[in-house]
Amino acid sequence: MDIFEKCQTYTAAKDVQALGLYPYFIPLTNSEGTVAWIGEHKLIMIGSNNYLGLTMHPKVRQAAQDAVRQYGTSCTGSRFLNGTLELHLELERRLAEFVGMEAALVFSTGYQTNVGAISSLVGRGDFAITDKEDHASILDGCRLSYGKMRRFPHNDLDGLERMLASLPEDAGRLVIVDGVFSMGGDIAPLPQLIEICQRHEARLMVDDAHSVGVLGDGRGTAAYFGVTDQVDLIMGTFSKSFASLGGFIAGSANTIHYIQHHARSLIFSASIPPSNAAAALAALDVIIAEPERSHRVLEIGRYMRDEFQRLGFNVGASQTPIVPVIFGQDIRTFQAWKMLFDAGVYTNPVVSPAVPEDLALLRTSYIATHTDEQLEFVLEAFEKVGKELGVI
């Protein structure tokens, strides 16, 4: 059998393209944070993870430009060899302090952070236990490890308890959860998770990709609940609130030292460019100096949830600036996306198999710099589309 045969017979995307409803890989002509252009078409951006609006912040942009002038465009090597700059070390020191851990390690992307940290820690005879709605990078990290993966139903504390109790007593166990779940926008119940993990001598890792910069005055989910000293590992990314590219893992000094010498995605990848490290550092400065940004984006999330529900939309269990609007049925979701796109609103459709078909949704996410006028424009567009499609 020709290994490329699957490429010839793959038609799912082509079918949607033929209907004029294909929503992916659309190139932006320009972007100003809350506004984007595709050609001459202007849209209100509610499909970005730029939660604090820092991609356009003058301090962040200037820091990236200054780093290029000083260091050039790339380190052209891995962190393990010639790819570590003092800039990276400063960023690691600052991040560890910020999230309340002893040490931190910076990777080239958030995806590589999860893949590298999990696969280096979970060895033969060990178990990685994940929430069924954890990010794909967590699942891939588990699959690339030499251990076994177990998955419990979303936020099912009793299910996690039973699962941990069923494992061999002498097995190492790492429980990994998203702090904020990227599709539903709900928050992991860390205090209860910690109690269960402690009863079963399991370590706990929290993926704060969508939490750092947003919850706990920007310090993440553990800070939000006041349990930082009871969490073993905190992971974060720079491609969201930090307006850059890269990721980090933070924990005890010994654990980070071990990951640093065993994570293949760190050792065999080029380090993040100086401009990205400098931008992340500048973003960190802004997050600390301007906590009102995280407060504002949480207020916007609350307002939009309330307004969508008032209009009759289903927004699931969202508690954050990630607000899913559930349309059900893949084709209806694509239709809603296209109608909103034409009306000047940019959203992200999420359909099966990423979610069950009856829960197909438009993922909306908000930025601290969205204006009240922009939010009202979005709500008016959604109300019109929801009525035309018979959803509300």
Q: Which residues are catalytic?
A: 182, 210, 240
Q: How many helices (H) and strands (E) does the chain have?
A: 15, 14
- The Cα 108–Cα 252 span in angstroms is 21
Going by C-alpha positions, the residue among 177, 41, 209, 22 that lies closest to residue 109 is 209
- The Cα 280–Cα 299 span in angstroms is 24
Kindly calculate the radius of gyration of the chain based on its CA atoms and give it in whole angstroms: 21
- The Cα 233–Cα 230 span in angstroms is 9
Bridge partners (DSSP) listed for residue 345: 44
- The Cα 313–Cα 310 span in angstroms is 7
* 54 CB burial (10 A radius; 0-12, 13-18, 19+): buried
Going by C-alpha positions, the residue among 367, 362, 368 that lies closest to residue 381 is 362
- Which secondary-structure segment (H or E) carries 197? helix 190-199
Map 27-82 to HEC letters: CCCEECCCEEEECCEEEEECECCCCCCHHHCHHHHHHHHHHHHHHCCCCCCECCCC
Q: How distant, in Å, are the alpha carbons of 254, 307, 362 from that of 35?
A: 44, 21, 18
